[in-house]
Structures are given as C-alpha cells and as structure tokens.
Amino acid sequence: MTNPLLTDWTTPFGLPPFDLIADADFAPAVEEALAEARVAVAAIAEAEAEPTFANTIEALELADARLGQVLSAFWALAGADSNPAREALQRDFAPLLSAYGSEVSSNTALFARIEALWENREALDLTPEQARVLMLTRRGFVRQGAQLTGDAAERLKAVKSRLAVLGTQFTQNLLADERDWMMPLAEADLAGLPDFVVASARAAGEEKGAGGPVVTLSRSLIVPFLQFSPRRDLRKRAYEAWVARGENGGETDNRAIAAETLKLREERAQLLGYASFADYKLETEMAGTPGAVRDLLMQVWTPARAAAEADATVLEQMLLADGEAGPLEPWDWRYYSEKRRQAEHDLDEVALKPYLQLDRMIEAAFACANRLFGLEFEEIEAPRYHPDVRLWEVRRDGAHVAVFIGDYFARGSKRSGAWCSAMRSQQRLAADLRPHVINVCNFAKPAAGEPALLSYDDARTLFHEFGHALHQMLSDVTYESISGTSVARDFVELPSQLYEHWLEVPEVLEEFATHAETGAPMPRDMLDRMLAASTYDMGFQTVEYVASALVDLAFHDGPAPVDPMQKQAEVLAGIGMPHAIRMRHATPHFAHVFAGDGYSSGYYSYMWSEVMDADAFAAFEEAGDPFDPTLAKKLEETVLSSGGSVDAAELYTAFRGRMPGVDALLKGRGLLDAA
C-alpha cells in the first residue's frame, strides 16, 4: 500500500491528508525522505561543476523538501494531539534528525563550495536577497561547526545529538505531568466559583473519566480556579501542583535533564570558540550581547518590582481582613487581585466573559486583518488532524494568499501554551508556494451547544498568535530559509505583540464584543473600564516574566551550574524576588528554554520586541487612525513581508525611521511612574 506521506497530496491546497495518515506511516516516510535528502546533498557536494549560487545554495534550499513535508504533518500531531505512539516516534526521530543535520553541516566538500561562493561573492552579481541567503547559509554552517575537524567535530555531533534527545524528553515529561495530575472537587468545593469555571471543571472531569468535576493543570482551568476559589487550602494544593510540573521525582523529573542540557550547551559554545552559550546564541540576535539583554531587563525590573511590592501590601491587607494568617502567598495573589480589580475597576470577569466569545474574537482578528491588509477569510472543509480544528482560505483581491488553521481548545493530548507554526512556508524557488499557517491555543472547551467564552487575556493570546500568522501569511520572499518568521528571535515577537494592540481599539470591541445570549454590544462604560484596567496587576505580570528571563540569561552567561535549582534560587534572591510571586516558568517546566534551544538565552526576546511594538503602534496613534492605510502598507512592506531577507534593525528603522527606547514599553505597561 502506498504511504500517503510520500505521495503528491491532492487535498485542497495541498494540505496534509490527515484522514489517510496512520501513525505507522511516519517512520518509513521519514526514513525514505532522509535517504532522499542525503542523496540530494551528496549530489550538491560532489558536483564536478564549479559552484554557483543556483547549483549550491538554491539546490541546498530544496534538498530536504520531502523531509520537510513529512515532518510538517508529524510535528502538528506531536504538539497538538499526542499519543504514546507519537511520543515514541519523537524520541526515535530526535537523534536521527540531529545526525542528518550534523552530516550536512560537517560535509567538508559542501562547505568548501559555500566558502568558495562567499569568498567570490562580490563577483556573483547576486540580488540583495540572494546575498543575504548566502551570508546566512555560510554563517549557519560555521555556527553548526563546519570549520571544526577531528575530535572536536565528532564531539560536537555527539553533543547536538544528545541535546536533541534531552529536549524531546523534557517536553514529554512535562506533558505527562500536565496530563496525569488532577484534583477532584466535591460539590461543596464548587462554592464561590463562577458558572464558567464550574462548567470547565465538569468538562475536564468528563474528559478524564473522573466521575465528577476536577481541576487540571491546564492554564485555562487552573488560573480561573486560583482567581475565584475562596478555599485557600484548595488553591494551595492546585498551585503547588502547577508549579511542581517536572519536579515530582521519578521518570518525569526534569531537573537532571536541565543540568545536563546546560552543561552540554556550554561545551557546544566552547567547541565553537565562544566564552559562553549566551555569547554564542546572542551573536545573531538584535540584542547582540548578554550585557545588552541584562541592561534592558534591569531597566524594567526595578520599576516592576516596586509596583509589585506596593500591590502585595494591599493584597496582604485584604487577606488579613478575611481572617487568614499572613503572609500573602503565591496561591493567594490571583484570588485577591481579582477581588481588588472588581472593587477598583468595577470589573467582574463573570460579567465580562459573555462579551468575549471565541467566534466573535476570531471574527475581530480577521476583520482587523481585512481593514489593514485587505485579507478575506472563508471557512473551508479539508482533512484535519482533530475534530476541533477549523480551516480558512485566505484571499486578497481574489487571489489565494494562505490557508489558516485554528486549533483553539485545551485537551490532554495537547502540550500547554499557545503557538504558531507553518505546516508549509511561503517560497517561490521551486514553485510559488503559499503558506499553511496554524495557530494552536488552549482555551477552555465549552459544554456541547454552548459558546466558548474567553477572558481578556485569552483574547489577547488569540490576537498575539494571529499576529505571528500574519507574519507567515504575508511573507513575500523567494527562499524558504528566510520566509515568514525566520528572523532574529528578538524580532519574531514584534508582529505578534504589535497585533495585540488592535484588540484594544474601542471600535473593534464595540463591533465584536457582543453578549453570547442577547447579542447586545458590550456597554460602553464596561468597555472603558476594561481598557482602563489593561495595565492592572502589571507589576505582578512583569515581575514573573522578567525573573524568568533573568534566570534563563544567568543559566547561559557563564559556567553551567551544577545544580540549576540552586542557581535559580541565587538569581531570584539576588534581584529581590517578592515572596508572593514566583517565576512564570520555573526551571523544571521552562519549556521555552529546555524543550529545545529556540528561546534559550532568548526568553528576554518578548520584552525586546515589546520595546518595538509599543513604539510601532504609537505610529498609528500619531496618525490619528489605528487603520491608517499608508502606515499599514508600510508595515507590510517593511516588517511583515520581508521575513529574514533584511537585517531586523534595518526593517524596523525602515518602518519607524529610528530604533525606540524603553520608555514606550514602560508607558504601555503603566510602569513609567514607578521607574
């Protein structure tokens, strides 16, 4: 029987034929695709013809196209709908794919051809985009060890292979802890919880087969439980389980994995001639150096900590007034902060959520994209990997632009968090391929027949991930390696964080924030109070984030710690971490940093991008129109369509005319007065 992964896909728009693919198809497909890629790479490296950009760089761009196609389907499933068979495949594929990558980057004949092109680049008559791809290709090979020989080269291969295995194991341990823990709730334990939290707990219990309501470690359930449950004992139990993910002993404990990962990263950097892994990693980012990152984070930390400490004093007084014993603890913060928000801003999330329907917020994200960039969305039917998945064709001026895929609801088979990825990236080299872009979220799934309701933070997450999607969909480059979000890590969050601002535009909310039962628009006074409270509790949010970013930087800027947990404690003590706030991501569940090295030494990048996004949206405010067509066109032509074809700082400067300072960020977070 023909393996559907290895056929030409005749599905709508060439989407993966998920209705035909079985888990057993992946291993043989990856094996065959890897063999095909190796043959293609060998042909490039061993060609008798003199190296040209076409026969070397462009040929290399296309060498593993089949492998990319197979893996695009696999990674979608592995992240959003895992099972034991797929987890086993992940463990099997990690060393195989690492070995292939090492073979390519250490192929001396191939690198010699790339180096020859680099040395002769001035005479090649390359376009600016081609010159950029040549530079990035050569730099990538050098950073992967192409210039190493002998024992050093072999050791680097072993290090990279082991890191790939560790990253996979870290992810799977975290998923196991999140999937397996639950706290059953008696009917009396539901007292004080809003209906939407009770409904989520009952739905979670039904999914788990628990015979009653439960709290799980899904953020969409545990956070509102911590916000609303008056039971301090239950809040403590749930919170401590949440922050202990990856730190429970036994087979799923991630502490030893984190320690080994940091040691191997340090060795990798030193093999390549860098003083630390942070120096290695940040060389290609906008920040450039660990010192620049630390300077930014500390400029924000000081006012954020001051604001958080002031808030903690107020919340502790509320705790004591309730007859509870102090001090204020981390499992108390969200509960009393929610009470304070209701009192100070007259905002009740129970009353707010019916106006933030998932379907209407999707429509809002689409409508903003239409007004800004002329995009139109039509829901389509095509094979999908899970029944909850929805698909839309994206068009502009009658022409096909992309397929957008939305997977919004939490489930036990999905890893936590929210993310955007391209199951197919835009490129024009082999053919004019338009992207398949997927947004994955973890919103609470409603009972059958009921509308899905979001918190305001959920709605921001939806807009954030859709901003990433626009970066992919509007990409307009020739080469896949620089397509869409293939940019500096501390630039990639700019489009996503910038798009969040359009959720706060009053006219958008006036149209799309409508009541789930009555259809009435959100009352203007409620809308105003919601927007006024957008920076509420920002001290807490900023402290938990910056603390995580500083720990990440400390892990990689210097000798690898023997005991990461001790190092984490030292860093937090050194910066004066408030007692009632924990890191957003403690080390054993810090997937951004340990599930792979994408955000390692780079968790700061959300804040680096936020400096730009606050300043970029200010351009629309200065124009007096959040949908100013001239600015929207300029944003697309500079930032959104260019991918990695131009240096990130040049792209931003082309849009705004200059680089911004940190004041725009502090103002946006309501922390300027605390600075």
Say if CB 94 and CB 257 are below 8 A apart: no
DSSP conformational letter for 54 = I
* Collapsed DSSP state (helix, strand, coil) of residue 443: strand
Question: Collapsing DSSP states into helix, strand and coil, what is residue 114?
Answer: helix
Q: What's the rounded Cα separation, in Å, for the pair 329 and 335?
A: 11
**How many residues are given for the chain?**
675
**Cβ atoms of residues 117 and 466 within 8 Å:** no
- CA distances for 499 relative to 269, 528, 539, 636, angstroms: 35, 20, 22, 12
* Tokens at 275, concatenated: 């003083």
For residue 63, is it left (φ>0), alpha (ψ between -120 and 50) or beta? alpha
CA distance 458 to 442: 9
Q: Measure the CA–CA gap between 502 and 470, rounded to whole angstroms.
A: 13
**What's the CA gap between 592 and 603, in Å, rounded?**
7
Q: Using CB atoms within 10 Å of the CB of residue 402, give its burial: 0 to 12 exposed, 13 to 18 middle, 19+ buried.
A: buried
Is residue 119 part of the annotated active site? The answer reads no
- Beta strands, E only, 118-255: 182-184, 214-216
Distance CA 410, CA 518 (A): 27
Sign of torsion over alpha carbons 496, 498, 502, 504: positive
Let me know: does 265 contact 560? Beta carbons within 8 Å: yes
How far is residue 173 from each of residues 247, 258, 422, 586, measured CA to CA in Å? 10, 12, 25, 14
Rg, C-alpha atoms of the chain = 25
Catalytic residue among 178, 338, 465, 610: 465
> What proportions of the chain, in percent to the nearest 5, are helix, strand and coil?
60, 5, 30
Residue 77 — φ and ψ, nearest 5°? Answer: -70, -45
CB atoms closer than 10 angstroms to residue 445? 21
Two tokens at 32? 């065959």
* 218-255 residues labelled b (16+ CB within 10 A) or e (exposed): bbbbbbbbbbbbebbebbeebbebbbbbbbbeeebebe
Contact assessment for residue 79 and residue 440, using Cβ atoms and an 8 Å cutoff:
yes
Catalytically annotated residues: 465
